[in-house]
Structure formats: C-alpha cells, structure tokens
Amino acid sequence: MSKLGMLTSASALTLCCASFAVAQTPWLTTAEQAAKEAELIKDASVALSKAQELSPRPEIEAAIRAVNEVAGKLAQSPAFVKLAQSAKSAPAPSIAPAPATTAAAPAASPQATPTPVASSPKSATDSLSGLMKDSKQWVSPTGDYANVRHSSLKQITTENAGKLQLAWQFSTGVLRGHEGAPLVVGDVMYLHTPFPNIVYALDLKDPDHKILWKYEPKQDPSVVPVMCCDTVNRGLAYGDGKILLAQADTTLVALDAKTGKLAWSVKNGDPAKGQTSTAAPHVFKDKVLVGIAGGEFGVRGHITAYNLSDGKLAWRGYSMGPDADTLMDPEKTTHLGKAVGKDSGISTWQGDQWQTGGGTTWGWYSYDPELNLIYYGSGNPSTWNPKQRPGDNRWSMTVWARDLDTGKAKWVYQMTPHDEWDYDGINEMILADQQIGGASRKTLVHFDRNGFGYTLDRVTGELLVAEKFDPAVNWATKVDMDKASATYGRPLVVDKYSTEKNGEDVNTQGVCPAALGVKDQQPASYDAATGLFLVPTNHVCMDYEPFRVSYTAGQPYVGATLEMFPAGRDKGETHTGNFIAWDAKTGKIVWSNKEQFSVWGGATSTDGGITFYGTLEGYLKAVDTKTGKELYKYKTPSGIIGNVITYETGGKQYVAVLSGVGGWAGIGLAAGLSKSNEGLGAVGNYASLANYTQLGGVLSVFALPNN
C-alpha cells in the first residue's frame, strides 16, 4: 500500500474510533471524558485534512462531514461546556476544513486567540439579524443581508431636508481614496481608512465623539504597488462582538468590539503573488466571507469562509479550475437552467491558463437566510488581451449562488463570456421580492460594469430582465433573451467594438462604456415603497488597444492600453456621470440626473422619501426618491467615493459619509499621475477634477437643526 493510501486508511480508522467512542459512550458525563474525546477528534480532523489535501476522494469528504458533526455535538455537550468553564485552555474539538478544495487552510497568526467553544450559529445569526432590524444602527457594510441600503428612519423628509446642517466631522489622518462606510453598533461608530487600514471606535454619546480605541496594523508597504486603482478599503463587518477588517496585505483580523484587542487573525493570500484585499468582509450566520483582489496580476479569484468564532477555514471556492476547486457539482450546479458539466471551470480555457485566470472577488456579498445562499460576482479574466485566452473563460464575469454552510455552487450566470473590455462582474447583488409578469418572484438585481441591468430569479438563476441602464452602451446590441436560441443569455457583441476581432496592437475606438463600467463597485439602493433602484453611474467611453504580455508572479498582467473620455463627447457633452432611478421589473430608467463627474459614492434611501449620495467633486446630495429633485447639497472637504449611511442616536437622525478623493476615477489625484493613459486609462478623463477638490480624509456627519 502507498504512503497516501496508508494515511487515508489511518485517517478513516481514527475517525471511526472517534465516532464510535462518542456514539457508544452514555453521553459524556465528566470534563475529563470530554477532554479525551476532543483530543481524539482533533487527531482525526488533522489526519483527514492532510489526506484530502494530498488526494481529494469522496470517502474522505464523507468522513470529514461525519467528524465535523461529531465535533459539533461534542461542543454542545454539558461536559464540554463544563470543561471550557473550568480551564482557560480547553482543547476545543477541531473542525476539519471543508473538502472539495485543493487550497490548504491558511495558517492562523501566532497572535490569534481561539475561542474554546464556538458560539452557536443560530444565536449569532439571530443577534445580527435583530440588530439589522433596528434602523437606528448600521451594522453591516451594506446595511443588511440583502444589500438594499435602505433605512426606515424618517425624521429627515422631503419637506425638511433643505434644512440639513453639518453636525460634526472627524479626520482619519490618511490622504488617499476613502471608499466604504462606517458601522454604527449601539452607541459606537467604527471607522476605517485606506492603507494602512486604521480602525477607530468613536463614542457617539460623547459630545466630542472621543476615540474609544484605535487599531493600526503594521503592514509591509510593499503591498501598495500591487494594489490596483488606489489603496482603498471598503469597510468593516460586525458579528459576535467582533469587528472584522480585511487588511491590504490580505490579513483578516477580528478585533474585540469593546476594546479593539486582537481576537484572531488569518492570512488569506500572498501580496508577493499580487494578491491583496480591498473588499469589506461580510458576516453571515457563523461565518466571515472574504474575497481576494489582484485580477491585474493574474490572481485566480476565490471567496473564502472562515469561522467567526476562531478564524478557522470553513471552505474556499475558486472562480475557475476543476470542480474540486470551484465547489461545483457537474450535474446539480446550473447555468441558465442547464447542468454545467464536468470541470466547467477548465473546459473553456486553453491549457493551464485557468491557473492565472483572474475572476477575483473584490465586491459586495449578499445572503438569503431562507435559501441559505450567498450571492456575489467574479471579475475580469486575466489578461486584458482577449487574443491570449481563447474561450468563454468560465467562470469569470459571473453571478454566483453558493450554499453558505458548504460553499457548494447552486447556480451561476456568466454575464460577459470571453470578456474583451475589463467589465468586472463584482458589483453588488441586491435581493428584492418583486412582482414580475403577474407573479411574486424572489429576485436578484445587479447593475453590471458592462452596462446591462440584470434581474434574475435568485432561487433558480433564471434570467428575467437584461437591459441597458445607460443609453450610451454600444459594445453589444442586447442580451439574447430567447430561451430557444443558441446564444440565450449572451450579449450580442458589435464587431466594430470587439477588441478580439480587431486584434492585438489595434486601437478599438469609441467603446461604451469604458473599462470602469456604467457602474463600478459604488453600491445602489432599493426603495421598496416606490419600487425604484437608485443607482450611481458613470457616463464614460474609451479607446482600447490590447497587446501581448507574459505572466510573472507578482508583476502586472494587464496587456492593454486605454484612454477614457465623456460618453457624449461627439455631441459636445462633458459630463461623465448620472444618478438614476431604475425599474428592475421592466428594465427602464424612470428618471436621471446629470452629474459633472462619475458618481463614485454609494447611495442610501430612507422612509423619509429621501435618497442620499455623494459626488466625485465632494458634494453630499439629498434628492426626492420619487422624482430625483435635488433638495440639499453640501461641499465636503474632499471628493466623495464613500457610501452614505444613516443612523439615530439620542433620538436624532444623522447622515454620515466619508470624503477622500481617490479610487479608480480619482487615481490621478490620489497617486499624483498626469499622463492621460495612466491609472489604467482613467487619468485623462478626470484631469479637471483637480480644479474642484484635493486630497482629504474626513468623515462628515449631518443632521437637522435642534429647533
């Protein structure tokens, strides 16, 4: 027998012993028994994990599930609880990493402090769900699981919004792009910064909003050059008394919300290979979800779930690769209603190109507790030169629905097969129940970089609506909605704007939208009362010239030169942004407000009939949700690329937003770039931004006057 076979057999034998012992013992009655069982299960878990890493097999997968079930029972036993209470370092039953992925579990930081007994998933879920229902707080990066970014607060209305005043401000001490938004949990605001990713806890009860604690990680500054499109960070997450931060260097940390002390940390990637973190983590049930950035460095994208209690790896799902990596079932996972087939994450790639295939996951995530499904999008395939990577490049540019507990993919939908323009599919997935075709549907609404607004059935992945949300979009005529067609669900590409057909070293001109899309990561809001989605957008086109490039780990792997310009340039128009209201049931724009620059800040709507958003030159704006009429604006110290939130403390409603120009649109100012094609083509289009704002890093908070 081979060494691997012996290891596998030994693991299975150890598991059997552990399972038999727990099953046959008249349930554990002493702490000593519990300690012995915990050690036995730990040995089985370690051995099984090693076996699965070396040679994934169905029997090992089944064994891991069984040992995890045994460990769960043990953790809830009265004897183990007694053991945990009587000893500071109780040997917690070890949970094996989820099978079916070839990725090894990232090693926990030596500073990590595992919790002896994991908190109950149900209690953690109930606690966070309850906080989300309290409109006085803002406890998740997007407000709630569904990403609707809507608040039931209504002190500020269409009648009095014009009376808003600046209430207070706080300087973050960092001068780069400030994306994301603060959290408000109870009477404490948690605030983050771009690199070096400082976290502040501010006392909202104190009239001076004093700093309760400050966390400042020590990161290697060499991570900065491998961060695409500025050193941004999109925010924090909260759960089980912890504040979660995904640092630029891919370290995921859990901080005690009361003290700021490190509870645990884990490394999610390797910056030396181009892997970085810019997205906010998300807490769903008993897990923390975090993605990876680096598509411009050939990073193969993945989403990873860690246990909220101790930071241990639960599962990891890749965007491309064999089924064991993508966590796809060839018969049960579907794409537009059809089984994806065996190893679909490899079959549309040439050779081993999938290993540097991109599809990174740096956007926003949503969760449906009833379906137990998480939803998110994957980004561009690497390289940006489509000639170098024949095929559909699955599953880049894809909407994913995965089971939260296992990571298994239920369905996928690829929006831009064989991307030729860098139209990442990472934008938020908004979950809303809507009446479509006379029937109530559980929908998912997504505004993609490619310029199409999609409405899908989030249960099945059925495509319901796909329409342009900027009339300037010209790279495709439409998305084929004919289910009988061979191209069903695919965009019908216009040859004139195909960088693939025009070829390498040819400048394809006048492509709309530009690579930064009709909308990038800046999140939209959904107002159920009006049925409208309130969407911050870009109105920008580009010239795109691909060229051949070779892959070297940790080095840029782009392969294209871009120039961006206003979409209406040929008509003499200069504005590069719109703020729109969208009907996702019909795929139509209800109203649209022109903005001088791209609207790069996230929107929030309220029951007061108001929608708030920020502009790139620095205005916080309040508009009537129904009509778009502007009711209020205030110029903050720097350009706004952050997301607006609203909360209540001391009986008063407040509106808060970070200002600090940067991000892709503001990279010229943030990084001191001047050539028009620098910043992946964005610098020239936004050169005039310097006439209206400068670098900053300030939280601005607004309220109605006391009288």
Give the N- to C-terminal CA distance of the chain in Å, as an integer: 83
Q: Are 233 and 195 in contact (CB under 8 A)?
A: yes
What whole-number distance in Å separates Cα of residue 150 and Cα of residue 611?
A: 9
Report which of 214, 311, 208, 203 is spatially closest to residue 259, judged by C-alpha positions. 214
Q: Please give the positions annotated as active site.
A: 422
Helix or strand holding residue 41 (H, E): helix 31-54
Q: Is the peptide bond before 383 cis (omega within 30 degrees of 0)?
A: yes
- DSSP letter string, 69-93: HHHHHHHHSHHHHHHHHH-TT--PP
Residues with Cβ within 8 Å of 88's Cβ and at least 6 positions away in sequence, in order, are: none
Q: What stretches of 540-616 show up as alpha helix (H) in DSSP?
A: none
Rounded (to 5) percent helix, strand, coil in the chain? 20, 30, 50
Residue the block writes with tokens 């022109």: 594
Token pair listed for 466 = 């796909």
Phi-psi region of 548 (alpha: psi -120 to 50; beta: other; left: phi over 0): beta
Count helices and strands in the chain by DSSP H and E runs:
9, 40
Q: Are 301 and 361 in contact (CB under 8 A)?
A: yes
Q: Are 303 and 361 in contact (CB under 8 A)?
A: yes
What whole-number distance in Å separates Cα of residue 521 and Cα of residue 177?
A: 14
Residues in the chain, total: 707
Q: Is the peptide bond before 196 cis (omega within 30 degrees of 0)?
A: yes
Report which of 61, 113, 62, 116 is spatially closest to residue 88, judged by C-alpha positions. 116
What whole-number distance in Å separates Cα of residue 144 and Cα of residue 615?
A: 24
CA distances from 434 to 132, 428, 568, 583, 597 (A): 21, 18, 34, 11, 32
What whole-number distance in Å separates Cα of residue 633 and Cα of residue 620?
A: 5
At residue 619, φ and ψ (nearest 5 deg) are -85, 130
Residue type, 377: G
Helix or strand holding residue 65 (H, E): helix 58-76
